[in-house]
């Protein structure tokens, strides 16, 4: 098998990360945009010692799970990679991938995995989208077909093209966030293009406009815009004019924040911020609790499914009212406050100080007075609390909801030192979840694994895992 060779193969399964897998005489070939049950003609694009990668040229036989994609950007955008597969098929494959990760990476092949809890909303479920400005615009197939039109490639505001860190295509529709957010996106792109100020370049590290982040309160109908630029204060007036224009064009916008960063990393996070319109935050409702969300605070992306997730976390914690609970990576305190009424005390730990400030406010808003929150490096704050320096002590239950990269080894070590009776871990990445569990299983039994689909049409899957300390 050589690069450039064309061949026909049957697609057997979906591998972790979303790629399809087929075999040629036992040799594995990974494919983008292919489904189990299909027979495809593919061209080999990359040949490695143990596997190859290929591009689908033609579907010879269709999969029974195939459905027509509903978005014009399918194939260009890396967001909804699975929208050509029916939802039942998506849920089935996500459950299989959770089982495989636990078996292969954590050695937990005998652990019971419950059926996936579906999202409930298959479109328009996201409450946050991050869009990138770029001076290297990727043309859509429909634009390339228009030979009679000259396209400006020097300005874009949209999403990255998979495999190209420096290429961004202009998003014209999206079925993840609300249609109103796309209206804001289009208007922002046109206004910023007309402003004459350049988008930031990841090649030269020059330019002004960097990111547009849109956050929505799905149940409160509130909208927050975070405009992130380079720290060129001489252009601040342009941002103020943009905020005025957007507020006049879209009266439903609740607040606008301008953040600035001089860091080269392409992360939509400002080093400094100022509020241009409104209070600087929005609110969201989960169950009977109300949460304040600032521009840089973490909050579950799919609030509809998050309620089901939090109910399960509360079940797994099995609280009787006398426990001290720690909530690691607590963000704005959503899980901590959700379980607080059934615990004696909850301590939340979070590295983002702005999120901790929101957590204190959220506790006050909801009349919850048995929660305390600490900002800083988790391992250091946890050890200070264990030693009694923070007036804490040892927890009976630890709940942890780390980012996609999983828990830092020092945090895992601190959990083992704290030795709680139960650990409930929430993860949006089965592979890093399995890695973290492999550290804990010597001291803890995995009692229950419950997957949740918080991200329909994508390969991502959330899990809640209950661990009980071995006697």
Query: Residue 238 domain-assigned?
Result: yes
86 with 456: CB under 8 angstroms?
Answer: no
Alpha carbon 45 to its chain's center: 29
> Residue 201 phi/psi, 5° resolution?
-110, 125
- 330 as an active site residue: the answer is no
**Residue tagged active-site, from 80, 101, 428, 463:** 428
Structure-token pair, residue 308: 């089901």
Residues 323 and 184 placed together within one structural domain of the fold: no
Give the E-state strand segments of 192-323 in sequence order.
209-217, 222-229, 255-260, 272-277, 281-286, 289-294
Residues 259 and 306 placed together within one structural domain of the fold: no
Give pLDDT, residue 148: 67
pTM of the model: 0.90
pLDDT tens sequence across 153-208: 999 999 999 888 889 999 999 999 999 999 999 999 999 999 999 999 999 999 99
Strand partners, 157: 133
> What is the total residue count of the chain?
471
Give pLDDT, residue 389: 53
User: Domain residues for 51?
Assistant: 6-66
Residues 117 and 191 placed together within one structural domain of the fold: no
Give pLDDT, residue 197: 97
Domain boundary among 251, 285, 319: 285
Across the chain, mean pLDDT equals 93
Q: Reduce the DSSP state of residue 384 to 3 states and report it.
A: helix
Give pLDDT, residue 108: 78
Residues 234 and 113 placed together within one structural domain of the fold: no
45 with 56: CB under 8 angstroms?
Answer: no
Residues 418 and 440 placed together within one structural domain of the fold: yes
pLDDT tens sequence across 36-69: 999 999 999 999 989 999 999 999 999 999 999 9
Residues of the chain with pLDDT under 70: 147-148, 389-393
Residues 335 and 417 placed together within one structural domain of the fold: yes
């Amino acid at each position: 098998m050589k690069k450039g060779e064309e061949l026909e193969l049957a697609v057997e399964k979906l591998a972790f990360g979303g790629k399809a897998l087929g075999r040629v005489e036992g040799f594995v070939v990974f494919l983008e945009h292919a489904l189990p049950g299909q027979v495809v003609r593919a061209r080999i694009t990359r040949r490695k010692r143990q596997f190859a990668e290929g591009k689908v040229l033609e579907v010879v036989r269709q999969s029974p799970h195939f459905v027509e994609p509903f978005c014009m950007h399918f194939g260009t955008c890396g967001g909804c990679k699975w929208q050509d597969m029916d939802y039942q098929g998506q849920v089935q494959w996500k459950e299989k991938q959770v089982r495989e990760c636990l078996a292969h990476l954590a050695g937990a092949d005998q652990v019971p995995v419950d059926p996936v809890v579906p999202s409930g909303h298959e479109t328009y479920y996201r409450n946050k989208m991050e869009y990138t400005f770029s001076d290297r615009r990727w043309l859509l197939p429909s634009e390339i077909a228009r030979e009679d039109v000259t396209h400006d490639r020097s300005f874009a505001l949209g999403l990255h093209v998979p495999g190209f860190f420096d290429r961004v295509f202009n998003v014209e529709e999206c079925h993840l966030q609300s249609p109103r957010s796309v209206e804001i996106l289009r208007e922002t792109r046109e206004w910023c293009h007309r402003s004459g100020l350049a988008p930031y370049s990841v090649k030269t590290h020059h330019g002004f406009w960097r990111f547009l982040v849109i956050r929505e309160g799905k149940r409160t109908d509130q909208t927050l815009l975070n405009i992130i630029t380079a720290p060129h204060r001489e252009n601040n007036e342009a941002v103020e004019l943009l905020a005025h224009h957007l507020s006049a064009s879209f009266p439903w916008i609740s607040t606008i924040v301008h953040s600035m960063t001089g860091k080269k990393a392409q992360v939509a996070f400002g080093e400094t911020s100022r509020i241009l319109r409104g209070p600087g935050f929005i609110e969201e409702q989960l169950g009977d609790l109300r949460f304040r969300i600032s521009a840089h605070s973490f909050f579950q992306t799919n609030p509809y499914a998050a309620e089901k997730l939090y109910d399960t976390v509360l079940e797994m914690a099995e609280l009787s009212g006398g426990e001290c609970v720690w909530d690691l990576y607590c963000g704005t305190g959503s899980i901590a406050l959700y379980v607080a009424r059934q615990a004696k005390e909850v301590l939340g730990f979070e590295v983002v100080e702005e999120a901790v400030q929101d957590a204190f406010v959220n506790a006050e808003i909801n009349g919850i007075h048995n929660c305390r929150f600490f900002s800083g490096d988790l391992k250091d704050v946890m050890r200070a609390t264990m030693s009694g320096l923070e007036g804490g002590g040892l927890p009976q239950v630890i709940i942890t909801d780390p980012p996609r990269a999983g828990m830092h080894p020092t945090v895992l070590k601190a959990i083992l030192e704290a030795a709680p009776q139960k650990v409930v871990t929430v993860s949006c990445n089965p592979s890093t979840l399995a890695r973290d569990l492999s550290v804990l299983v010597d001291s803890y039994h995995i009692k229950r694994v419950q997957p949740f689909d918080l991200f329909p049409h994508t390969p991502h899957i959330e899990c809640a895992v209950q661990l009980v300390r071995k006697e």
